[in-house]
């Protein structure tokens, strides 16, 4: 089993976790990676993050009994024992996740710059005024139906050590295929990927950021500081900035906005998270995520077919089942070709002083100490 972990010192990945590993041993591994001693650890998991209850006898209990699946994220924060934990500690953990997202963005920009990719200008921390947020909050709360094509994450490096297909044919021999539709790396790839899937447009980012800000501003009880990791109004300003990128919160809001399911395939873990799955929505769209970037997935009429023929929304039934199998195969092939970036464990070399660093934590520390931002990935 593989688990992602975050803590005060950054993010990393725990791999090769066997079913016999004790909870105490897992906590020792987390302590090494996060800097939080086992006796001070409060573990959060899920979305929104909730306290993970640990057994009393952690040396005898197997970690396999914990409600965790391969690819899940564990957040380790310093806190009181789990039995005394409350929403305040969960909020602290989620705030740590958000802070790490901002650091991920800085690192991703540095990598992109080192590889010669174009970067959009930073827009500053507060792109929207209070009146803008009020206008968002006053927007219609009703859902918007999908139209058009029947249907954090950043400007960042997407290393491709090997070739992998961008299309996989459906297995029943119809000639149709699941195709990866490339979205620009401009810090708004999540929003534009959703725009393509829902409306056939790659230029919906600004509009969808406003949709999310409206949803958050319109429900301060649900989208509280404990949930968001920052005050409601601050989050609305943050998400309206064109250089901030989204994740689970934003996908869940957009699924509800369009009243469609959104399936997000993760190339690194090969897992699929479906947003809106239990809401009774009639159709599903698909995205693919490589650790730093989102692209859209579409059902092409045949390999190489024009995008104008794409179908990006599929109803439950045999066709969706075939499409999901093809999507899973495409993701598996991309994984085999290592078309993903493990921001917790990838190896980088500083182009200025040639020092090698591993993972987000070391790269950020090196950049902060030296001011160097010219990194390149190496094996």
Q: How confident is the model at residue 13 (pLDDT cuts 50, 70, 90)?
A: confident
The total domain count for the chain is 3
Is-catalytic flag, 293? Answer: yes
* CATH, residue 148: 3.90.70.80
| Shared domain check, 331 and 350 | no
| Shared domain check, 115 and 28 | no
Is-catalytic flag, 372? Answer: yes
**The model scores a pTM over 0.85:** no
- Strand-pair partners of 41: 78
Of residues 82 and 15, more confidently modeled: 15
Instruction: Note whether residue 94 is domain-resident.
Output: no
Instruction: Note whether residue 102 is domain-resident.
Output: no
Q: Give the pLDDT score at 136.
A: 55
Instruction: Note whether residue 314 is domain-resident.
Output: yes
Residue 262 contacts residue 197 (beta carbons within 8 Å): yes
Instruction: Note whether residue 93 is domain-resident.
Output: no
| Shared domain check, 198 and 303 | yes
| Shared domain check, 328 and 193 | yes
Q: Which of 5, 136, 189, 236 is catalytic?
A: 189
Q: Look at residues 1, 104, 11, 95 and name the one whose alpha carbon lies nearest to residue 48.
A: 95
| Shared domain check, 168 and 270 | yes
| Full domain range(s) for residue 72 | 3-85
Instruction: Note whether residue 131 is domain-resident.
Output: yes
In the numeric block, which tokens belong to residue 67? 């409600």
The pLDDT of 366-377, averaged and rounded, is 72
| Shared domain check, 313 and 204 | yes
Is-catalytic flag, 257? Answer: no
Dihedral sign (CA 315, 317, 318, 321): positive
Instruction: Note whether residue 26 is domain-resident.
Output: yes
Residue range 19-48, pLDDT digits in tens: 899 999 999 999 988 888 999 888 888 755
| Shared domain check, 151 and 281 | yes
Instruction: Note whether residue 212 is domain-resident.
Output: yes
Instruction: Note whether residue 97 is domain-resident.
Output: no
Q: Give the pLDDT score at 153.
A: 39
| Shared domain check, 293 and 144 | yes
| Shared domain check, 290 and 168 | yes
Q: How confident is the model at residue 78 (pLDDT cuts 50, 70, 90)?
A: confident
Q: Which of 293, 310, 335, 366 is catalytic?
A: 293
Q: Give the pLDDT score at 19.
A: 87
Q: Which of 72, 186, 273, 342 is catalytic?
A: 186
In the numeric block, which tokens belong to residue 280? 């009774």
Q: Is the pLDDT of residue 117 over 50?
A: no
| Shared domain check, 175 and 115 | yes
In the numeric block, which tokens belong to residue 169? 């044919």
| Shared domain check, 274 and 178 | yes
The pLDDT of 247-268, averaged and rounded, is 95
CA distance 347 to 357: 6
Looking at 70, 85, 100, the residue that finishes a domain is 85
* CATH, residue 55: 3.10.20.90
Is-catalytic flag, 186? Answer: yes
The pLDDT of 348-368, averaged and rounded, is 74
φ, ψ dihedrals at 93, nearest 5°: -65, -40
Most confident of 94-103, 186-195, 338-347: 186-195
| Shared domain check, 327 and 234 | yes
């Amino acid at each position: 089993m593989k688990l992602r972990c975050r803590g005060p010192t950054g993010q990393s990945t725990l791999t090769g976790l066997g079913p016999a590993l004790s909870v105490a041993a897992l906590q020792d591994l987390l302590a090494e990676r996060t800097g939080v001693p086992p006796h001070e650890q409060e573990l959060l998991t899920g979305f929104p993050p909730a306290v993970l209850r640990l057994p009393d006898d952690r040396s005898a209990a197997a970690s396999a009994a914990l409600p965790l699946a391969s690819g899940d994220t564990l957040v380790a924060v310093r806190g009181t024992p789990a039995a005394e934990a409350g929403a305040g500690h969960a909020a602290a953990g989620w705030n740590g996740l958000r802070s790490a997202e901002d650091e991920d963005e800085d690192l991703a920009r540095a990598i992109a710059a080192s590889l010669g990719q174009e970067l959009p200008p930073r827009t500053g921390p507060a792109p929207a005024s209070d009146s803008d947020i009020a206008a968002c909050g006053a927007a219609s709360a009703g859902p918007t139906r999908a139209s058009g094509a029947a249907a954090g994450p950043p400007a960042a490096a997407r290393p491709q050590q090997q070739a992998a297909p961008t299309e996989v044919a459906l297995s029943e021999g119809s000639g149709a295929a699941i195709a990866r539709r490339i979205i620009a790396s401009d810090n708004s790839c999540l929003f534009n990927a959703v725009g393509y899937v829902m409306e056939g447009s790659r230029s919906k980012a600004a509009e969808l950021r406003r949709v999310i800000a409206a949803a958050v501003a319109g429900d301060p009880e649900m989208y509280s500081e404990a949930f968001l990791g920052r005050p409601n109004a601050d989050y609305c300003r943050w998400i309206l900035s064109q250089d901030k990128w989204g994740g689970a919160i934003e996908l869940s809001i957009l699924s509800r906005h369009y009243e469609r399911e959104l399936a997000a395939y993760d190339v690194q873990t090969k897992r699929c998270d479906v947003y809106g799955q239990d809401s009774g929505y009639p159709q599903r769209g698909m995205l693919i995520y490589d650790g730093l970037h989102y692209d859209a997935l579409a059902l092409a009429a045949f390999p190489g077919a024009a995008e104008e023929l794409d179908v990006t929304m599929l109803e439950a039934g045999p066709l969706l089942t075939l499409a999901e199998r093809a999507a899973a195969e495409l993701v598996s092939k991309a994984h085999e070709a290592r078309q993903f970036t493990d921001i917790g464990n990838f190896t980088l070399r500083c182009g200025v002083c040639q020092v090698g660093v591993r993972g987000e934590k070391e790269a950020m520390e090196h950049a902060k100490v030296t001011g160097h931002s010219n990194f390149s990935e190496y094996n």
